[in-house]
Amino acid sequence: MWMKKLAQHFEKMRSIYPSDRLIVLFDIDGTILDMRHMVLSVLHSYDQTHSSSHFNDLKISDIDVHENHVESLLSRMKIPAGKAKSILEWVTANLWTPENLLEAHLPFSGVMEVMRWLQIQADTYVGLNTGRPEYMRAETLNSLNHLGKEYKVRFTDELLHMSSNEWEASMEQPKVEGVRYYRDLGYRVVAFIDNEPDNLLAVSEAEGTNITTIEGLDPAGKHPVQQAWIEHQVPQCGYCQSGMIMQAAAFLAENPDPTDDEIVDNMTGNICRCATYFRIVDAVRRAAEIKAAGKTGVGEVSHG
């Protein structure tokens, strides 16, 4: 569902900014890859190939190391040093097989296809915004480009923003810095995909980004959309209406004189179980008229 919404949002941004370099940012761990699956897969393949059983009981939740730090896992499992050395050699030689990479990506199927689709759009880029520390830059690019080969997706050094903190430190601040990094390079950041709500919240609250909620639209109820909604008596049960009103207000801030088709297009995706759709379209059209007549200019929704 989020992929469809992203595609719709991207198309809208492209129509508003036809000549900008648009970029969509993705987190890595938990959004594109779960490297624990890769580590587990290669260790299980070691056992199968060597008819051993070191990792029979190893579960995904036991793996808390990154793909290039398997030695600390082996040491914690008390694997004798000599045996650990030969296992590590096996891991190094076999980690990057297509099978193991796909294991790491399996929980996130569809994401690479979305990236591929974005990368073939004109003047459109995919950037990575990760909490991985800077010292993992080379191996991160290596991992992702191994995986990218399968999907014809390419990741570059410039479009990879990493954290200046250690792994355990807060992730929110590097994510905010990442968005600024891409903006400073001249890209228009149109979306950021991250599995951690805290990161998304931090980015949305950061300087340069404004979020307006239904309560803040215009507490006096004089926003053109609010006026039009009252005129047309749009709500029935009211359940969907906050989302409808905010969607309409954001839409009119970007497109003050929409056609009916554009209104329908924009409001598609918000579901109203009371089927107030006809009144919604009428009200959005009316809100555009009120706005054009300059009856009120308060409470605009803005995007940073």
**Which residues contact ligand FES (rule: CB under 6 A)?**
235-241, 272-274, 276
* Smallest separation, CB 243 to ligand FES (Å): 9
Contacts of 302 (CB under 8 A, 6+ apart): 210, 212, 253
CB of 279 to ligand FES, least distance (A): 9
In angstroms, give the least distance from the CB of 283 to ligand FES. 12
Closest contact distance (angstroms) between CB of 246 and ligand FES is 14
Pick between residue 272 and residue 288 the one whose CB is nearest to ligand FES.
272
Our CB check for ligand FES shows the closer of 60 and 275 to be 275
How many beta carbons lie within 10 A of that of residue 46, not counting itself? 18
Q: Which is nearer to ligand FES, 191 or 274 (CB)?
A: 274
The smaller minimum CB distance to ligand FES, of residues 78 and 273, is found at 273
Place of tokens 């036809």: 18
Write the DSSP assignment of 258-270 as a string of letters.
--HHHHHHHHTT-
Q: Name the packing angle between helices 111-119 and 2-16 (round to 10°).
A: 20
Q: Which residues pair with 26 in a beta bridge?
A: 128, 193
Select 91 or 272, whichever has its Cβ closest to ligand FES.
272
Distances (CA, A) of 274 to 96, 175, 247, 270: 52, 39, 18, 12
Task: State the nearest-atom distance from the C-beta of 245 to ligand FES, in Å.
Answer: 11
Nearer to ligand FES, 130 or 247 (CB): 247
Q: Could you tell me which of 24, 27, 12 has the C-alpha nearest to residue 194? A: 27
What are the backbone dihedrals phi and psi of residue 141, each rounded to the nearest 5 degrees, phi first?
Answer: -60, -40
How many Cβ atoms from other residues are within 10 Å of residue 169's Cβ?
Answer: 13
Nearest to 264 by CA among 242, 248, 250: 248
The nearest distance, CB 157 to ligand FES, in angstroms, is 48
